[in-house]
């Protein structure tokens, strides 16, 4: 699936950026897969603005954690703590054809996510990350590779990833590199996102 590949930009409200401006920068740089993450709760008005912009650009917008908000976007990404009480039938009934991503750090979690009907796996943390305090210990390229080799689902590596990490992440079998702070905290987010996109394209070539 074409939309589940490449640089996966995470717009994190906790990073304090202007999310509308940040989204405009990543879309202009060629990013076509975006997640809206807001641990304080998804702002529906913000979500509507982001979704209008991604739709106009032919990009995909995923919402973090919030199944109801995901109905206003193109899919949802759930952590392990969000899965309690759900089975594949209940998740698919609510999401319809929208995308479902599930965070995993072990092969067992990846296999369980596949049983739940996940469309892709968010695997990590690749490096230690300050963006998500509950992410757990870094699993590195070896951890990404273990899971990528154990599943047919596309893997999005996540956690403290920057430009220098793309080659080992790609070599480990990841189809996507999910990136938050390296873009949001860059002096020129559009340039940084563009550098990431071009690097990934070179790796794929």
Q: Can you spell out the DSSP letters for 48-61? A: HHHHHHHHHHT-EE
Residue 1 has pLDDT above 50, yes or no: no
Token pair, residue 174, equals 């990841």
| Residue 132 known to be catalytic | yes
Per the structure, the complete domain to which residue 30 belongs is given by 6-204
Count of structural domains within the chain:
1
Interval 177-205: pLDDT, tens: 999 999 999 999 999 999 999 999 999 99
When pLDDT is cut at 50, 70 and 90, the band that residue 130 belongs to is low
Residue 1 covered by a domain: no
Interval 144-160: pLDDT, tens: 999 999 999 999 999 99
Q: Which residues, in sequence order, are CB contacts of 61 under 8 Å at separation 6+? A: 34, 35, 36, 50, 51, 54, 55, 73, 74, 75
103, 105, 175, 181: the catalytic one is 103
| Helix, strand, coil share (%) of the chain residues, nearest 5 | 45, 20, 35
| Residue 37 known to be catalytic | yes
Q: Which residues, in sequence order, are CB contacts of 108 under 8 Å at separation 6+? A: none
Residue 171 covered by a domain: yes
3, 32, 132, 175: the catalytic one is 132
What predicted TM-score, i.e. pTM, was given to this entire model? 0.94
If one compares 137 and 2, the residue with the highest pLDDT of the two is 137
Q: At 10, which CATH number?
A: 3.20.20.70
Average pLDDT of span 45-63: 98
């Amino acid at each position: 699936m074409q939309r589940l590949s490449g640089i996966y930009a995470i717009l994190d409200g906790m990073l304090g950026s202007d999310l509308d401006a940040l989204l405009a920068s990543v879309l202009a740089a060629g990013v076509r897969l975006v997640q809206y993450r807001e641990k304080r709760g998804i702002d529906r008005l913000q979500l509507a603005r982001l979704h209008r912009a991604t739709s106009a650009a032919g990009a995909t917008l995923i919402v973090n954690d919030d199944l109801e908000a995901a109905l206003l976007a193109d899919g949802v990404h759930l952590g392990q703590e969000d899965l309690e009480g759900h089975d594949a039938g209940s998740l698919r009934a609510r999401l319809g054809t929208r995308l479902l991503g599930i965070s995993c750090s072990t092969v067992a979690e990846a296999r369980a996510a596949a049983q739940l009907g996940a469309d892709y796996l968010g695997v990590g943390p690749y490096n230690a990350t300050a963006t998500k305090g509950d992410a757990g210990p870094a699993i590195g390229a070896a951890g990404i590779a273990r899971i990528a080799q154990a599943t047919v689902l596309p893997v999005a590596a996540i956690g403290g990833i920057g430009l220098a990490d793309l080659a080992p992440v790609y070599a480990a079998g990841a189809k996507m590199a999910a990136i938050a702070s390296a873009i949001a905290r860059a002096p020129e987010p559009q340039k940084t996102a563009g550098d990431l996109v071009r690097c990934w394209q070179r790796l794929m070539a």
